[in-house]
Each structure stands twice: as structure tokens, then as C-alpha cells.
Amino acid sequence: MRLKAVVFDLDGVITDTAHLHFLAWHAVAQEAGITIDEIFNEELKGISRMDSLVRILRHGGKEEMFNHEQRLALASRKNDLYVRSLASLNQESLLPGIRELLTEIRAANVRIGLASVSLNAPGILHALGIRQAFDFCADASRIACSKPDPEIFLAACAGLNVRPQEAIGIEDAAAGVEAINAAGMLSVGIGPGLDHAGLQLRSTRELTWKCLTDFWSSRTVLIRN
């Protein structure tokens, strides 16, 4: 079976906006009388905005103190702060090796997709100067279930017109790797603590086209045997 698509998560795989997310959530949490740190922020990786807010409110013991409208206001405030911070992103904000990898995937005539729950993903890709590198970006606004549900990766595969079994998904969050696995794709995890990924790498510096093709070949050989 030939590899037909590679589907990327955004934050932590293509660029690192985790600290920008943390600063925005930290400010909003403080307004709600809750303190969070960067260790807690790790739990929010790959999780949608509203699900992240619920976790923060639960962390502060205030889950019952905010109604739906108030939660929407807090989530909107967080997004406003985050979007303003995105002005600092540019073409130098790509993680190591990503630009070269996208070029090599395109040269191999393999399709490229994005499966990010960030509603700001199109603007981020534009700021990074790589929007045209992607054949299809799953629309986070149309996704009902957040990761670890496989919905967004299945949507990306459908948009690329490939079967999940013909694609590799790349993630830096445990929930994202679970979503890739549940979708029936081969999974690559970037960073520590992702032992459930089919292939675990320490950083994007190790994420090369040869690495991906070797991984694909080794797994498809196992399947055939």
C-alpha cells in the first residue's frame, strides 16, 4: 500500500504557540480567580477552546459558577488575547525542519493535510507563509467532537480523498495521538510521553521525509506479514 497523505497537527508540530496559549489562558484564569501554571497548561494541548476552559474552571473549583453565556465570554476573551499575540509570528516561527519536510512531501506527490482544532489555523498558516503547502485543512468550526475523538483526522482524510489507512498523522499531544490511532491512521508523536504513537520522535529535527517513509515501509511490511 502506498502512502498517499500526511496530516499535521499545528501547535507543537508546525509552530510552537503553546506559550502564547498559556499567556492568554493565564490572564483569563486570573480574571476568574484561578491560578494555572505551564505544567497544567500541558493538559490543554490538543484540546478545544471550550473544553480547555471547562478544565480550567474545574481545576479552580469554579465549574458551577459560570453559566453558558459567561463561559462563552471568557473563551472569547482568551481568543482575543491569543489572536493579538499571533502578530509576533512570521516565517521564522516554523519549527526546525518543517519547511524542508513540506517541500519533500510535495515533491513525492503525497498530499498534505491539516487537522488542528484551532479556529485560528488559517491565519497562522498565512503568517508562517505556508498556507499554499496544504491541499486541505479540516475546518475546526465544523468539528463536533474534540480530540481524542478521531473526527477531525477523519475529516482531513475525507477532504484529501484518501482512506485513513493510506495516511500518517503527526501530533505532539496525547489526545491527538489517540485521535490518529482511533482514525485508523499510522501515528507519529513529537515529544515525550507519547508511547502510544506508532513512532515517537524527540523533536521535529528528527521528522524527515526519510524517517516517515522508513516508518511507513516498516509498518506496511508487518501488516503484509
Q: Which residues are catalytic?
A: 9, 11
What would you report as the CA-atom Rg of the chain, rounded to the nearest whole angstrom? 18
CA 204 – CA 215 distance, rounded (Å)? 15
Residue entry with cell 498530499: 111
Q: Which residue in 2, 218, 223 sits closest to 108, CA to CA? A: 2
Give the amino acid at 223.
Answer: I
Residue pair 66/46 in contact by the 8 Å Cβ criterion: no
Alpha-carbon distance of 206 to 189, in angstroms, equals 11
Provide the H-helix boundaries in the chain.
18-31, 38-41, 49-59, 68-85, 98-107, 121-128, 151-160, 174-183, 209-224
Please check whether residue 170 is in contact with residue 194, taking contact to mean a CB–CB distance below 8 angstroms.
no
